[in-house]
Amino acid sequence: MSEQPRSAATIWQTAYGELQLQMPRETFDAWLRHARLIAHEDGTYIIGVHNVYAREWLEHRLKKIIVRTLGQIARRTVEVRFVVWSNEKADDDLRSAGPLLADLEPPAEPTPHFEETTPGETGLNPRYTFDAYAVGSCNRLAHAAALAVIETPAVQFNPLYIHADVGLGKTHLLHAIGNSCHERGMQVLFVSSEAFTNDLVGAIKSHRTQEFREKYRHVDLLLVDDIDFLAGKVSSQEEFYHTFNTLYDSGAQVVVASSRPPGNIQKLDPRLQSRFDGGLVVELLPPDFETRMAILQLKARQRGSEGRIPLEAFEMIAGEVDGSVRDLEGALNRLIAASMLTNTPPSAALVEEALGPIRASQPNLTLEDIIMMVAEYYGVDPEDLCGRGRSREVSIARQVAIYMAYKETSTSLQQIGEAIGGRNHSTVLYSYERIGDLMDADSQVRRDVQAIMQSLKPQRASQIHNRQ
């Protein structure tokens, strides 16, 4: 008996559920939670959203994922168009034609809204100061530029643009600048570009754009983290461009951080790129051996453990862990925890036990290394990652493992599929392409993958002697 053709509403309903599993919850809730199938004709799906901003964001950032998911379920080539749709009567008419998944979902999570700041609120973390920032050859220029900004705001380096891979201290440096300026009586505001975007969406929806502009344009120092999140977001970039101009013309300082230099951010407004390049662009590099030693000793001092840990133990960790500041801090935390749990001094011998043998003889990553590290990062069981479970946590971990295995090893897609639950070639390819798309569309996924990449770098004991 042949399979009955499915209606467009059923196909959209199924795709909607698949997309909810595939995407991070915050991304789905912000942009797709209220999306509706408005019309369908000959493979073209008209999807209604509530405002122009959502339409632009979906068109430029998530359309490829939505088209691919719909096409796989419909088993044909499809096209998707996004339109602004907020007519309540029309929504009622659609409901009468049959339930959509959006109607069957629980009450939606709160959508982005405008957050007012109370007097004196800065968004800064008081723990991130210059005293807690280790300086070395990898970050000396950025550190000096930050100090110059504090001494003479908006004079020499405006804007100051700091870029680095994940975990190398750019956010810490932004907070340190902000805390120092705040102590000097300046009006400071720290915000991520994602929070800036959510504020803008909320302000537009609640007709509070004037209050939004007063919040961001009446400060002495604006610090914006992860500026590359704005890429492709037309309305946000337009608003930030005018915010920047207002601050610049009024003599305020702007400092931004990103994972990439301005010229390497795809879909960045050329006007913003020109503004960023017109200031000072500095890069934070991975810490060298001496800087890793300084970081470890500084972190140990903050925990009151520096005097208890011998120099040899610091050297072993600094030689084995050559990734980010977070990697170093994590290794130090494991050593201190092992010392407390076993009631033994945090010696070099305990470093071996806590961190595992140094893998000097394994210059190449294996599929097993990646599966174990991804499972540990996401807090899932490796057996579940390689199994058939479909929870969101397991699904995203599995797809990240597939993406990294294909990128970082010579393993074929077929071999990866056989190792991860006996999946076929097309399923593995879909997972690889999906994570690649999400790394462009979702900053959290990009940060997660970069963090795991850093922790998977081959580690060599010989670095201890080579760097001394």
**CA-atom Rg of the chain in angstroms:** 25
Between CA 279 and CA 442 the distance in angstroms is 27
Question: 82 near 59, Cβ under 8 Å?
Answer: yes
Which stretch of DSSP H or E encloses residue 336? helix 325-342
Give the pLDDT confidence score for residue 142 in this predicted structure. 93
**309-333 residues labelled b (16+ CB within 10 A) or e (exposed):** beeebbbbbbbbbbbbbebbbbbbe
Between CA 112 and CA 127 the distance in angstroms is 28
Question: 175 near 190, Cβ under 8 Å?
Answer: yes
Compute CA distances 178 → 95, 121, 153, 218, whole Å: 51, 12, 11, 15
Compute CA distances 43 → 32, 77, 441, whole Å: 20, 7, 25
Name the nearest CA neighbour of 19 among 76, 80, 94, 77.
80
Question: 322 near 463, Cβ under 8 Å?
Answer: yes
pLDDT digits (tens, 9 = 90+) for 282-316: 998 888 888 888 888 888 888 787 778 888 888 88
Name the nearest CA neighbour of 353 among 369, 335, 327.
335
Give the pLDDT confidence score for residue 108 in this predicted structure. 38
Give the pLDDT confidence score for residue 111 in this predicted structure. 52
Give the pLDDT confidence score for residue 357 in this predicted structure. 36
Residue ranges in the chain whose pLDDT is less than 50: 1-3, 87-110, 357-363, 458-468
User: Which residue segments constitute the domains of the chain, with CATH numbers given?
Assistant: 8-104 (3.30.300.180), 140-283 (3.40.50.300), 289-357 (1.10.8), 367-455 (1.10.1750.10)
